[in-house]
Structure formats: C-alpha cells, structure tokens
Amino acid sequence: MKINRIIAAALFGAAMLAASGADACTNFLITKGATKDGSTMITYAADSHTLYGELYYRKAADYPAGTEFMLVEWDTGKPLFKIPQVAHTYSVVGNMNEHQLTIGETTYGGREECWKSPIKGIDYGSLIYVTLQRAKTAREAIEVMTRLVATYGYCSEGESFSIADPEEVWVMDLIGKRSEPVKADYAKKIKYNYQDGAVWVARRVPDGYVSGHANQARITQFPQEGKWNKAKGKGLHKAISSAHMDYIYEPEVECVYSADAVDYARACGWYTGSDADFSFCDTYAPLTFSGLRGCEARVYAMFNRVADDMKRYEKYAMGDAGAERMPLWVKPNRKLDVHDVMELMRDHYEGTAMDMTRDLGAGPFMCPYRWRPMGFEMDGRKYVHERATSTQQTGFSFVAQMRSWLPAKVGGILWFGVDDTYSTVYCPMYCGITEIPLCFREGNGDMVTYSESSAFWLFNRVSNFVYSRYSDMIVDVRHVQRRLESGFLRDVQRFDERAAKSEGEALERQLNDFCGRAAARMFTEWSDLDKHLLVKYMDGNIKLERGGRFERTETGMSAMPKQPPYRQEWLRMIVRDHGRVIQEQ
C-alpha cells in the first residue's frame, strides 16, 4: 500500500488521549451464529472520568409538521443547532430502542486534520441517540446516520460504531472531512464536497463470528466490487458506495462506504495507491504504539478468550506494528451465552504477558488498576500502564441482547451496569419499559452530587474500597455478583414466556414491574455488601466468618481477625528500598 503514514508525536498524543481520556470505550460484537440461543449481542463500556452512570430514556412521540429540536453535544452538554424533527420517534432505553436496534461506539481520534478545527455538525453522541429514535434495523440505522452527517456535517473525532438488530451486527468506522485538498487539480476532477460530512465504511460481521473495537479504527481493506442483476433490473452488490444507499436493504449487501472514501484521501495527499489496496484504518487512523497497546490489545484480550490460535497476535497487541496483524473478526471455538459475554467485559489481560495483577504496579494486594496518567517517563525512557477492558473510570456499561423469536419489546434486553465492569452487576432492563428504576434514573445525582439512592455512587463506594485490598475483597464482590446475575438470568427465562403473551399497557406494566424489582433487589444486596465489606476488612484486618456470620469468642467478643502478610514480591521491593533501616540488628 502506498500510504503516507503519520506516526508523529502529535498523533501519538491523540492516540494516548483516546486510550486514556474521556472517550476511551470498549465494544464487542457477537453475531447470532456465535451464540447459544441465536441472539445477537453487542457490548459497550462508556469509560470517562467525567461521565455519570445513568440509564437514559426517551419516550416514543408524535410531532406536527415543522417541529424542530435542539441538538445537544453529548460529551459537553453544549447546545449545537436545531434540526427538523420526524413525524414519529421510537422509545429508547439506554442505547437500545423499542425495535431492539442497539448502537455503541468507541472514539479513535484519527488524523487531527479531520477534526481539530471547530466546525458545525452533529456530534457522535447525538448521532447515536437521534438515530435510535428514527431507525428500526441496523441497515436503516446506517442509512440514517450517514444521511445525518451528509446533511448537517460532523463535529466529533474519528469514531467506530457497533450497530446491531436481532438479525445482523455491523461495524462502522467514520471520520469527518475537514482538510483542504492539497491536490487541487485532482480535486477538480471529482464532484465531492470536501468540507462537509464524513468519510466512512461499514461492514456486516459474518454470521458465526465475533468482532470488537476499542478506540482504534479497525476496518482495513474492504470490498468495493459489485455485480448487476439484469433480470431484476437492480443492483445486488456485496459492496456499495453511498451513491447507491437504497441497495443497503438488499440482503446480499455486506459492505457500504462513502462514495468519496478513497478519492478524498487521494485529494488530501494521504493515499496514492489503487482502490483495491485502500485501507480505511491505515489512511485515516494510522496505527501507533499506543493505538496497539492501549486499544487493539483490548480486542486481542477478548479474541484470545474465545478463539483458538490467538497467541500469534500477542506481539501485535503489545505494540509491535511489524507483527502479524489481528483480523477484524474471528470465529469463536464455542457458542457464547449472555453470561459468557458479560464475563468478556471483565478483563485485566489475565493469562497474557500484559496481566495487570502480576507486576509490582498491582501493589501488595494484586490490584489490576493504574491511576492516571497512563504514560510516564523515567530516566529518559517512556513507559505506559496497560489499558484493560475493565477500568476504574467506567460511567456505565451494558451487554445488549437482541432476540428475534420474541416480540420486540420483550426480545430486547439491555443488561445494564454502572462503574467498573469487573465489579458491576448487569441488571436486566427490557427495551419495552417506560419507567426507569430510581437507582438508574437520570438526574438522581451527578458526578459531583452524591445521592444515597444512586446505583452509580453505591457501586463506586464499594469498588473504591475494594481497590485497597483487592485480592481478598474481590472474592466477596464476585460471590454476590454471581448470585445476583445468575438469579436474574433464571428470572428472565421464566418471565419471557409470560411477557410474550401480553401486549399494550398490560405488557408495559409487567416489564416496568420486573425491571423495577430487579434493580431494587440489586441495590439492596449491594448495599448489604457495602456494609459487610466495611465490617470485615476495616483497618487491614480480615474478620473470620462461619456459616455466613462473623465468628465470636465464647464471651461474645469478635474473634481475632486474620492478618495476611504482603505478597513476597512486594516485601522484596520494600527490603531493596528500605531494608538497611528496618532490618533487625
């Protein structure tokens, strides 16, 4: 490929920001042929040091002609501009609408020339939530999203989207068009407007496969050929450009892309090769060390847990751009259920060379978290802490499960959790609910306002205490977590059959009641865990338990607690650093 690569300090910094900053998220995509029950699933961890964990809800509504509404930038809350409203909008619970359409995202940044200069346009968050109110299927969502950016422009950094319905799962890479073409003569030969909208490509994940993206554009070469069916008089392209977006609804179409995806890069001087050799990722978001180590590594960790022969990509994930490149999707070695996918969101690179529980950075109690900033310099050399799927700054996360064999409002479940994915509980929220449980409700506290009834604050209180003695306390957390989630899975299985027989207001009441009770149970049991952990682990001690009760002496006093020593590696470090002072004489 003849690509003018930019792997300079500015791009390195942008990639590090994507890996550790406000928009560092993780998505996994699971097709129906890769699941035990035939559902489709996508995951999303909204990781940000300023994002509050709450469950958004937008009610379905009808609007008279001429109605407009204000776009508000999701990241900042800043009003953007007004656009016309459609006649009818669908209800949306979190990132899933009433038709089970679900959209997630991860920000990859990409070429700064495409986003650094301020420009009017729709932001990536509004693009998601406006589309969820207007589209029923993944293919329709792609059409809506791309028409929105073509009409109003795009004002965010490069973005990868996961777009799924009960039948299909798609991945899309998109970045805005900002640069003045440097090849003016070439630009005059083609008709595209270089200052509006975005360039993009979307691919359907083959059935039976899984994919993922984590703050790095991942689509490289993509099919651009098509064929013409004369008998039907219309295109049956396996790949089509945005000049033929009507064809996206043909089932044979598996890839769509903006008409100027290649030509725009040529006009800007970023690509000089053939159409067939064009790589979207390598052109618009060239790989850097941090893009590999902080981003691609998270996808590698998931692939490594579900597919065979993945160790071959470990060097690539660890930052070796010359190593064998990881594919966009892989075929898992087994069928996955929803609990398997929940567990994929719980990862600190265990079992790999990047295992965050093993080095001295984990502290005396093997805590797999590193406080920011991610990068640091020592004695003239640069280092970077790992960026895993499970991270302390998660606002909310979900596993979206979409099931084609059930009525839409019952078939779609957003398994929703707040805070760190490793210590959260995924609580079932059906896409047909019309009331959000209090603990997840918007406005119940915020990032600087504590609320006693907020799940986000409760889970953060537990996790931040657990970080202090992780190896011991996480055992208690995981025990309650598993009990709750396994109970919810059983409850959902029983409830589905009953709910599928209802409709209208009766169904809404049943769904609201079920999800409300599930959230209340989770909140109560996690509150009990919070108190239990404080009593058990206060002052670095570990009180003894028997039969679910703390042990007492014969006279009723608390039994003497355990006081496990620091791990040997940590003690050796103490001795190396301070042994001459603390050694017994």
**Residue appearing with tokens 């004369």:** 230
Q: Give the three-state DSSP class for 92.
A: strand
Can you give the pLDDT at residue 178?
Answer: 82
Average pLDDT over residues 552-559: 96
Closest CA to 511 of 405, 416, 436: 436
Can you give the pLDDT at residue 19?
Answer: 41
Can you give the pLDDT at residue 117?
Answer: 81
Q: Is the pLDDT of residue 237 over 60?
A: no
Residues 6+ away with beta carbon under 8 Å from 47: 23, 24, 25, 26, 391, 393, 394, 395
Between residues 183 and 111, the one the model is more confident about? 111
Q: Are 397 and 46 in contact (CB under 8 A)?
A: yes
Q: What is the pLDDT of residues 146-178, one digit of tens each?
A: 999 999 999 999 999 999 999 999 999 999 998
Band (pLDDT 50/70/90 cuts) for residue 185 is low
Q: Is the pLDDT of residue 4 over 80?
A: no
In 334-437, which residue ranges form alpha helices assigned H by DSSP? 338-344, 408-411
* Cα–Cα separations (whole angstroms), residue 106 to 22, 26, 54, 443: 11, 6, 18, 25
Can you give the pLDDT at residue 220?
Answer: 98
Q: Are 371 and 393 in contact (CB under 8 A)?
A: no
Q: Is the pLDDT of residue 401 over 90?
A: yes
- Residue 67, by phi and psi: left (phi above 0), alpha (psi -120 to 50) or beta? beta
Q: Is the pLDDT of residue 57 over 90?
A: yes
Q: Is the pLDDT of residue 187 over 60?
A: no
Q: Is the pLDDT of residue 227 over 60?
A: no
In 89-169, which residue ranges form alpha helices assigned H by DSSP? 124-132, 138-152
Q: Fill in the amino acid letter for 442.
A: E
Q: What is the pLDDT of residues 349-379, one digit of tens each?
A: 999 999 999 999 999 999 999 999 999 999 9
Average pLDDT over residues 405-431: 98
Band (pLDDT 50/70/90 cuts) for residue 247 is confident
Q: Is the pLDDT of residue 193 over 90?
A: no
Most confidently modeled of 23-32, 520-529, 559-568?
520-529
- Backbone φ and ψ for 383, nearest 5 degrees, come out as -135, 160
Can you give the pLDDT at residue 457?
Answer: 98
Can you give the pLDDT at residue 180?
Answer: 72
The fraction of the chain above a pLDDT of 90, given in percent, is 85
User: Minimum mean pLDDT among 185-189, 249-253, 544-548, 563-567: which range?
Assistant: 185-189
Band (pLDDT 50/70/90 cuts) for residue 119 is confident
Can you give the pLDDT at residue 209?
Answer: 98
Q: Is the pLDDT of residue 13 over 90?
A: no
- d(CA 80, CA 150) in angstroms, rounded, equals 16
Q: Is the pLDDT of residue 416 over 70?
A: yes
* Cα–Cα separations (whole angstroms), residue 126 to 79, 85, 132, 154, 155: 11, 13, 10, 10, 11
Q: What is the pLDDT of residues 63-76, one digit of tens each?
A: 999 999 999 999 99
Band (pLDDT 50/70/90 cuts) for residue 184 is low
Q: Are 450 and 69 in contact (CB under 8 A)?
A: no
Can you give the pLDDT at residue 478?
Answer: 98
pTM: 0.93
Q: Fill in the amino acid letter for 307.
A: A
Per the prediction, the chain carries an average pLDDT of: 91
Average pLDDT over residues 326-334: 98
Q: What is the pLDDT of residues 439-484, one digit of tens each?
A: 999 999 999 999 999 999 999 999 999 999 999 999 999 999 999 9
- Backbone φ and ψ for 161, nearest 5 degrees, come out as -120, 140
Q: Is the pLDDT of residue 236 over 60?
A: no
